[in-house]
Structure 1
Amino acid sequence: MKRAVFLDRDGVLNEVLTDRVKFVNKPEQLFLLDGAAEAVAEISKEDVEIFVVTNQGGVGLGFLKEKELHRIHQHLEKLVEEKGGRFREITYCPHKPKAGCECRKPNAGMLLNLAGKYEINLEKSVMVGDHERDIEAGQKAGCKTVFIGEGETNADYQAASLFDAVEKIKEMVQ
């Protein structure tokens, strides 16, 4: 079975709630965080699958059309590929925040679906996120977890940025 790194999008790969952008609703509003594309490129050198798993409640709330979300994700893939990185798949929960679905983090539905689809060994995989809901989803799926940011967390490891966490992530998926 394969190993995987699951990455949350907003706050791990790209800016959100910053001076430049509040929410990413168009490709031109997607600004990668410093070192994020390089971090994905470095992880891509390992024998692991890399997935983006992101809650996108703006779709369910009507702020964002799925067609536009696909354009945003194509732009994200292009920016990461320019630095030598790659994603196996970008998946998202389009439901409203309180819809009660199984795919919205902190539920593990997105991770479990990808694990089934790609034969992923979740115990040898890592979920990386910047909110406790990401960490909870990873734990519910049976993954190791990495928290990006400051503050208290129940994650297995914590770092200031995805770039700062690369070596530990590589170690965790061995």
Structure 2
Amino acid sequence: MKKIEAVFLDRDGTIGGDNTVHYPEEFELFPYTADEINRLKRDETRIFSFTNQPGISRGLATGKEFEEELIAFGFDDVYICPHDHNEGCICRKPNTGMLTEASKDYDLVLENCVVIGDRWSDMAAASKVGSIKILVRTGAGDSSLIEHFDKLKDIKIDYIANDLKDAISWLYKNYLVCRKA
């Protein structure tokens, strides 16, 4: 059974909110999210947030506000792309910059990591680095499957989950959650 080194969770639509961006202090976790994060933490699994937040570059919020919020939710570290989609950065999903940065920071083998998100861009980034891919139906998940079918057709999603709770349960049934050395 394959060992999992880390879990990367998207923010909006995956751990809370809906298919739109809610800025810090307005964002609410789904009722089960804290329990699922704590479940992974009890098993000493590294948990990282990776999220596109173009509102930062537009001056609608600060990176620090997002970081503080996500760390308070229990994440070990936070990777945020503050750029708008037309800025051409390497970090904005579906690019892999946030995942490769975390890999360098924590000496991770990305093929032994899991990406859980609600958008085609989460799955595309995970696919490019060989991570396990779980798409949740919450947020933009259902619409991603329909409206972005063309972008997902060549990506083998490992599991389509109803929500984060379902995703984590599937993960525990199919992989060995790795304890920190």
TM-score normalised over the length of structure 2: 0.79
What is the match of residue 83 of structure 1?
Answer: none
Task: Tell me the distance in 2 between the aligned counterparts of 1:118 and 1:2.
Answer: 14
Task: Tell me the distance in 2 between the aligned counterparts of 1:100 and 1:51.
Answer: 23
Provide structure 2 residue ranges, at least 5 long, that are not aligned to the other structure: 146-151
What amino acid does structure 2 have at the position aligned with 1:8? D
Task: Tell me the distance in 1 between the aligned counterparts of 2:7 and 2:33.
Answer: 14
What is the match of residue 103 of structure 1?
Answer: 91
Task: Tell me the distance in 1 between the aligned counterparts of 2:64 and 2:25.
Answer: 13
Task: Tell me the distance in 2 between the aligned counterparts of 1:161 and 1:2.
Answer: 20
What is the match of residue 156 of structure 1?
Answer: 158
The answer to whether 1:32 aligns with 2:66 is no
Q: Percent identity?
A: 31
1:2 CA drift (Å): 7.5
Secondary structure at the counterpart of residue 56 of structure 2: helix
The answer to whether 1:54 aligns with 2:44 is no
Deviation digits for residues 101-125 of structure 1 (CA, Å, limit 9, x no counterpart): 1100000110011001101111111
Distance 1:117 1:161, change over 3 A: same
Cα contact 2:71–2:77 (8 A) shared by 1: no
Secondary structure at the counterpart of residue 43 of structure 1: helix
Provide structure 1 residue ranges, at least 5 long, that are not aligned to the other structure: 81-85
Cα contact 1:125–1:172 (8 A) shared by 2: no
Task: Tell me the distance in 1 between the aligned counterparts of 2:103 and 2:55.
Answer: 25
Task: Tell me the distance in 2 between the aligned counterparts of 1:56 and 1:91.
Answer: 10
What is the match of residue 168 of structure 1?
Answer: 170
Cα contact 1:115–1:122 (8 A) shared by 2: yes
Deviation digits for residues 83-132 of structure 1 (CA, Å, limit 9, x no counterpart): xxx32101100111121111000001100110011011111110110001
Cα contact 2:4–2:175 (8 A) shared by 1: no
Cα contact 2:111–2:132 (8 A) shared by 1: yes
Matched residues, number: 160
Deviation digits for residues 5-44 of structure 1 (CA, Å, limit 9, x no counterpart): 0000111112034xxxx5322x320111121111111122
TM-score normalised over the length of structure 1: 0.82
